Amino acid sequence: MLLANKTAIVTGSANGIGEAVAHLFSTHGARLLLLDRDEARNAAVASAIAVERGRAIPIALDLRNRPAIDAAVEKGVDEFGAIDILINNAGIYPRQDFMSMTEQQWDEMQDINLKSMFHLTQAVLPGMLSRGAGKIVNISSVTFHLGMASLAHYIASKGGVIGLTRALARELGPHNVYVNCVTPGAILVEAEKAVVTDEQVRAWVDQQSLKRRILPLDIARVCLFLSCELSDGMTGQTLNVDGGWVMY
């Protein structure tokens, strides 16, 4: 029970990495505030956690909507007393070659993948700073280390996540607020079927040191580590969870 009596916000909680984080954190005693724009699937995750005797409040919202974010955080504080952990996971990753990319596509990527972290972090920080305690985990991507075609807008947003992590770690460390980052590799999630081929997936696994698909649970376990006392000597770090694809 590494997170007993802790409250965590998880964004992008309706599926994939966010869903895995929610279930794992619940088994370790965390109370959860689940933020996702897919109302039905997010509610289903909360219901499954309730069946497991956990406690999770699902809130459907668009992470580009700052007033909705502030209201969600206020609800979490009213229900649970404080927000101890923030997992900034929500993101999108459509492919688009650079020369045909529109400004709207660029802006949408930055708003959802990066600016949402600005909004969420600002919303939870007053409480963390007043208590002198907090854990923030930002989800970036191994593509920042690799560079990939047709993902310039995505990789730029994920590079920004790493930069934000480092800057906030410097600024918030004196207040005992920890900020770290995870860069997942090629994760086996339902959404990948819409953007990659089986051949591409096989090529990625061939480049990994571990010859298996990396699962959402693999990422969730690292998020758990970064959210509990086991990582109290770390801040400003980026942990690569990609089966040994990139080493740095």
Residues 168 and 49: their CA atoms lie apart, in Å, by 31
pTM over 0.95: yes
Q: Where residue 248 falls among pLDDT bands split at 50, 70, 90?
A: confident
Q: What is the pLDDT of residue 190?
A: 84
pLDDT higher than 80, residue 238: yes
Q: Evaluate if residue 98 carries a pLDDT over 80.
A: yes
Active site residues: 154
In sequence order, what are the residues at sequence separation of 6 or more whose Cβ sits closer than 8 angstroms to the Cβ of residue 213?
186, 187, 188, 201, 205
* 54, two tokens: 């956990």
Predicted pLDDT at 92: 95
The yes-or-no verdict on residue 192 having pLDDT over 90 is no
Please state the rounded mean pLDDT for residues 192-221: 93
Decide: helix, strand or coil at residue 213: coil
Band of the pLDDT at 57, cuts 50, 70, 90? very high
Residue 191 is predicted with a pLDDT of 81
Percent of all residues in the chain with a pLDDT value above 70, rounded to a whole number: 100
Q: What is the pLDDT of residue 210?
A: 98
pLDDT tens for each residue of 105-128: 999 999 999 999 999 999 999 999
Give residue 165's pLDDT. 98
Angle between helices 116-131 and 152-172 (to 10 degrees): 10
Taking residue 37's Cβ as centre, other Cβ atoms within 10 Å add up to 17
* Mean pLDDT (whole number) for 54-59: 98
Question: 227 with 87: CB under 8 angstroms?
Answer: yes
The domain locations on the chain are 7-240
Check: CB of residue 183 under 8 Å from CB of residue 145. Answer: yes
- One of 1.20.1270.360, 2.60.120.920, 3.40.190.10, 3.40.50.720 is the CATH number of 7-240, namely 3.40.50.720
Mean pLDDT of the residues in the chain = 97
**Span 226-244, average pLDDT:** 98
pLDDT at 194: 77
The tens digit of pLDDT for each residue in 37-51 reads: 999 999 999 999 999
Is residue 173 over pLDDT 90?
yes
Mean pLDDT of 17-38: 98
DSSP states along 34-52: EEES-HHHHHHHHHHHHHT
E-strand spans in the chain? 7-11, 31-36, 55-60, 85-88, 134-139, 177-184, 238-241
- Using an 8 Å Cβ cutoff, are 233 and 220 in contact? no
What is the per-residue pLDDT for 195?
79
Strand 31-36 relative to strand 7-11, pairing: parallel
8 Å CB contact between 7 and 76: yes
Give the per-residue pLDDT at 36.
Answer: 98
Say yes or no to pLDDT of 77 above 90. yes
In the chain, pLDDT over 90 holds for what percent of residues? 96
